[in-house]
């Protein structure tokens, strides 16, 4: 029995056999090599090339024997490609002259070459970019020293163990058989966490290195409440896990019953609670848990589990599913927030330069960079708006000019629809995410030009504190309770109040009970959370008075250390929950 | 089928020199297979010249490609009908030139 502790990011307890996802899912963490290690690294790379070639040869023989020489020829071509001097020399040069790690060099060169093929304008060659991606994956896998993974066809329940999961990989897993996630890296706002929430399965991330201790098939217990993962548990632990699972489920039922009513504080101030969703079917989860609409629909997930570009019809169908679930409640559709850690396969060419993705071409910048793709989405939103209370929200706005540009595109689209006589609603409320410090600083000006603000705490924290949220090395700098974050949120809430527009918080932070009284005290009037947190947060707010919330906010604002604020908020929320438990 | 380069009949066996001893051969070759120089033809060329110790270049206009590199040759973007200059340097250059020309003439035996 082996016990590991990590960060609990999605509640519940599950036990099932382990399935270890291969290291070809890995993101690359080590980017450079020491000059004195160059020769050893090149030797490691050459060995990976030899092993990749040997593997391709096996495939070639196999394919020729089973399917004929014509198919074998394709693998023969792959074999030549794997030995292509242009590619190999460039990779070796990156390692020896620029001290890139072999992994980074392989990615850089093969992605560049794939881009070249795609840009030649010959559809036949464009398809061949896939062959380079295959080669890239093969080399990366051999560099990591692991064998090929068979395709992920699940037939029985498993718990997925991995170094890290990207959104597209997570989205491709069949939720029917996936009982929980446990990953070596990641934090509370990693996409493994967000998606585990969406799939409503337990997840623990940030466990540190442990995969080398697991061979797959062992029984694993993932406790998404206390953050523990037990590998090969003894009989006693399994019994306890099953009991915990039952308790959790019954508690959920009780909260869900209470959650059907609208949400008021103990002194009768209305605090609407909305749900965050990634996929249209989650709108139903939100409604079942008492959410009063959708506060954040992350539409980019429409791009994440497919290989072709979604059409306007695809967008429209997805939005309609959500709107029909909440026909008379607000549905806030956020336009595409692609890039950084969310890069769909069919758009890899857009994001060729990985130098600094969090500060690079992502989110609204991608939409404004390629307005045709943007317009497809906007058309679908305005068309779906006819059937409900749809609002549109632009992500990652950093300047007034950018906001005006996005609004101008929206106006164009409305005019086009008008001219073509297509039913649509052109005058829907337009809001923006406040998640870049520049937008927070300019909030009074922005408030004159939008119908609402929504504070995205995940990015706001990362940009305000200059700590990449996906980089575990700086995890301790990514601190939700930092006084600078509190002050920024207050600035935005004040600007919204002055301009009489609404302000919502939609980041992971407001699914965490300890921050909820603080937000309400700071003047935030509505919250948007992961669906499964809705019942718990509603319950908490029922036991909170606005006066108490205000006191908590004032006290917290006087503190100057994140640790101090964190401790204080935790103590306050414990007191609140204790009073709520007494009433039962 | 698009034809990329000049339509006039080309002198396809231009500057051939006395065989076997010659160290440098230049010859025009014509892409005849339907899909042009994509992955499979390029891999056939690369395989044919891999063990040749000299240099083999395919030239289109002012762009040269190392025939041993699939990626380099693919980037010539040669479609059916494109004329390329084949330049081979090294011992036995003439034989290598003949072998490659034959591959071009046979359409690399790969296209469907």
Q: pLDDT class for A330, splitting at 50, 70, 90? A: very high
Which pair of tokens denotes residue A375?
A: 């317009």
Mind telling me the catalytic residues of A? 191, 506
Q: What is the pLDDT of residue A288?
A: 86
Give me the mean pLDDT over the A441-459 stretch. 96
Which residues are bridge partners to B65 per DSSP? B58
Q: What is the pLDDT of residue B8?
A: 43
Query: Measured between alpha carbons, how far is A5 from A207 in angstroms, rounded to an integer?
Result: 6
State the virtual CA torsion across A205, A144, A338, A287 in degrees, nearest 10: -30
Query: Measured between alpha carbons, how far is A261 from A8 in angstroms, rounded to an integer?
Result: 29
**DSSP H helices in A145-234:** 167-172, 191-199
Candidates A111, A112, A125: best to mutate against B (most CBs of B within 10 A) is A125
User: CB B77 to CB A80 under 8 A?
Assistant: no
> Chain A residue with minimal CA distance to B48?
A80
CA distance B18 to chain A (A): 31
Q: Which of A77, A120, A121 sits opposite B39 (nearest CB)?
A: A77
User: CB A128 to CB B77 under 8 A?
Assistant: no
Candidates A67, A68, A77: best to mutate against B (most CBs of B within 10 A) is A77
Mean pLDDT of chain A: 85
Q: How many CB atoms lie within 10 A of CB B21?
A: 10
Chain B residue numbers touching A84 (CB-CB < 8 A):
46, 68-72
DSSP letter, residue A174: -
Where do we find the tokens 């394919």? A63
Q: What is the pLDDT of residue A33?
A: 83
Q: pLDDT class for B2, splitting at 50, 70, 90? A: very low
Candidates A81, A109, A132: best to mutate against B (most CBs of B within 10 A) is A81
Q: pLDDT class for A24, splitting at 50, 70, 90? A: very low
CA distance A81 to chain B (A): 6
Q: What is the pLDDT of residue A440?
A: 97
Q: A66-70, A571-575, B87-91 — which is least confidently predicted?
A: A66-70
Q: In 3-state terms, chain A is what percent helix, strand and coil (to 5)?
A: 55, 15, 30
pLDDT exceeds cutoff 80 at B21: no
Give me the mean pLDDT over the A507-514 stretch. 86
pLDDT exceeds cutoff 70 at A29: no
Chain B residue numbers touching A73 (CB-CB < 8 A):
40, 110
Contacts of A517 (CB under 8 A, 6+ apart): A540, A544, A548, A549, A552, A553, A569, A572, A573, A576
Query: Measured between alpha carbons, how far is A112 from A360 in angstroms, rounded to an integer?
Result: 18
CA A422 vs CA A27, A304, A380: distances in Å? 44, 29, 11
DSSP letter, residue A386: G
Contacts of A183 (CB under 8 A, 6+ apart): A6, A161, A162, A163, A164, A165, A190, A192, A203, A204, A205, A206, A207
Confirm or reject contact between B5 and chain A (CB < 8 A). no
Sign, CA dihedral A408-A410-A415-A420, equals positive
Which pair of tokens denotes residue A473?
A: 């090395």
Mean pLDDT of chain B: 79
Q: How many CB atoms lie within 10 A of CB A198?
A: 25
Backbone angles phi, psi at A85, to 5 degrees: -60, -35
A366-410 pLDDT per residue, tens: 999 989 999 999 999 999 999 999 999 999 999 999 999 999 999
Contacts of A398 (CB under 8 A, 6+ apart): A436, A438, A439
Q: Which of B38, B40, B70 sits opposite A84 (nearest CB)?
A: B70
Q: What is the pLDDT of residue A150?
A: 39
Chain A residue numbers touching B41 (CB-CB < 8 A):
none
H or E stretch including A498? Answer: helix A483-499
pTM over 0.80: no
Chain A residue numbers touching B72 (CB-CB < 8 A):
84, 86
Q: A254-263, A365-374, A394-403, A507-516 — which is least confidently predicted?
A: A254-263
Mind telling me the catalytic residues of B? 38
Q: pLDDT class for A140, splitting at 50, 70, 90? A: confident
CA distance B65 to chain A (A): 10
Confirm or reject contact between B40 and chain A (CB < 8 A). yes
pLDDT exceeds cutoff 60 at B68: yes
Q: What is the pLDDT of residue A116?
A: 83
Q: What is the pLDDT of residue A6?
A: 85
Output the CA angle A69-A70-A76, nearest 5 degrees. Answer: 75
Confirm or reject contact between A123 and chain B (CB < 8 A). no
Chain B residue numbers touching A91 (CB-CB < 8 A):
none
Contacts of B14 (CB under 8 A, 6+ apart): B26, B27, B28
A78-89 pLDDT per residue, tens: 888 898 988 999
Q: pLDDT class for B88, splitting at 50, 70, 90? A: very high
A213-238 pLDDT per residue, tens: 776 677 899 988 888 899 888 877 77
Q: What is the pLDDT of residue B17?
A: 45
**Has the ipTM of the complex gone over 0.85?**
no
CA distance B109 to chain A (A): 10
**DSSP H helices in A399-482:** 400-419, 437-441, 443-447, 457-464
Give me the mean pLDDT over the A285-312 stretch. 87
């Amino acid at each position: 029995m082996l016990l590991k502790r990590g960060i609990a990011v999605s509640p519940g307890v599950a036990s099932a056999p382990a399935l270890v996802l291969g290291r070809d899912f890995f993101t690359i963490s080590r980017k450079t090599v020491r000059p004195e290690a160059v020769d050893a690294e090149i030797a490691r790379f050459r060995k990976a090339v030899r092993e990749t070639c040997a593997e391709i040869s096996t495939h070639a023989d196999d394919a020729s024997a089973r399917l004929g020489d014509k198919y074998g020829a394709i693998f023969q071509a792959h074999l030549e490609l794997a030995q292509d001097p242009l590619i190999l020399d460039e990779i070796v040069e990156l390692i020896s002259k620029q001290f890139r790690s072999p992994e980074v060099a392989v990615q850089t060169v093969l992605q560049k070459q794939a881009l070249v093929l795609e840009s030649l304008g010959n559809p036949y060659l464009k398809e061949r970019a896939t062959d380079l991606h295959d080669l890239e994956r093969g080399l990366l896998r051999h560099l990591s020293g692991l064998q090929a993974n068979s395709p992920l066809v699940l037939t029985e329940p498993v718990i997925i163990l991995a170094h890290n999961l990207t959104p597209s990989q997570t989205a491709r897993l069949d939720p029917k058989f996936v009982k929980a996630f446990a990953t070596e890296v990641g934090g509370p706002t990693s996409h493994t966490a967000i998606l585990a929430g969406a799939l409503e399965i337990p997840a623990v991330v940030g466990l540190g290195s442990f995969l080398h201790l697991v061979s797959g098939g062992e029984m694993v217990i993932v406790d998404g409440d206390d953050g523990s993962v037990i590998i090969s548990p003894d009989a006693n632990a399994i019994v306890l896990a099953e009991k915990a699972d039952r308790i959790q489920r019954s508690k959920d039922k009780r909260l869900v019953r209470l959650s059907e009513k609208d949400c008021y504080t103990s002194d009768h101030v209305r605090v609407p609670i909305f749900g965050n969703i990634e996929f249209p079917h989650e709108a139903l989860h939100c409604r079942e848990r008492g959410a009063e609409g959708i506060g954040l629909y992350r539409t980019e997930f429409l791009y994440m589990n497919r290989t072709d570009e979604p059409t306007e019809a695809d967008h429209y169908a997805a939005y309609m599913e959500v709107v029909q679930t909440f026909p008379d409640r607000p549905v806030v559709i956020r336009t595409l927030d692609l890039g950084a850690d969310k890069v769909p396969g069919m758009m890899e060419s857009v994001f060729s330069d990985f130098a600094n993705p969090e500060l690079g071409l992502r989110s609204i910048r991608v939409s404004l960079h390629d307005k045709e793709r943007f317009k497809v989405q906007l058309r679908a939103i305005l068309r779906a708006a006819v059937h409900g209370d749809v609002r549109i929200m632009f992500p990652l706005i950093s300047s007034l000019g950018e906001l005006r540009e996005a609004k101008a595109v929206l106006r164009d689209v409305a005019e086009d629809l008008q001219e073509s006589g297509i039913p649509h609603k052109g005058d829907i409320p337009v809001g923006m995410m406040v998640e870049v410090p520049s937008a927070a600083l300019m909030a009074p000006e922005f408030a004159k030009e939008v119908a609402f603000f929504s504070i995205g705490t995940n990015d706001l924290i990362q940009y305000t504190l200059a700590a990449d949220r996906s980089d575990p090395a700086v995890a301790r700098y990514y601190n939700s309770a930092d006084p600078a974050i509190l002050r920024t949120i207050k600035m935005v809430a004040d600007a919204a109040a002055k301009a009489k527009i609404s302000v919502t918080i939609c980041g992971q932070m407001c699914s965490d009970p300890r921050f909820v009284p603080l937000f309400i005290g700071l003047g935030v009037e509505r919250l948007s959370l992961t669906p499964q947190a809705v019942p718990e947060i509603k319950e908490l707010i029922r036991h909170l008075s606005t006066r108490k919330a205000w006191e908590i906010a004032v006290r917290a604002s006087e503190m100057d250390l994140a640790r101090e604020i964190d401790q204080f908020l935790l103590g306050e929320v414990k007191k609140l929950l204790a009073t709520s438990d007494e009433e039962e | 089928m698009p034809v990329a380069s000049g339509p006039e009949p080309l002198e396809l066996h231009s500057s051939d020199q006395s065989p076997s001893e010659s160290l440098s051969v230049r010859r025009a070759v014509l892409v005849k297979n339907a899909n042009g120089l994509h992955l499979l033809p390029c891999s056939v060329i690369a395989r044919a010249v891999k063990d040749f110790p000299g240099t083999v270049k395919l030239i289109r206009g002012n762009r040269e490609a190392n025939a041993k590199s699939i990626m380099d040759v693919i980037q010539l973007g040669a479609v059916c009908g494109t004329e390329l200059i084949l330049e081979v340097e090294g011992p036995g250059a003439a034989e290598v030139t003949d072998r490659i020309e034959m591959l071009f003439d046979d359409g690399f035996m790969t296209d469907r």
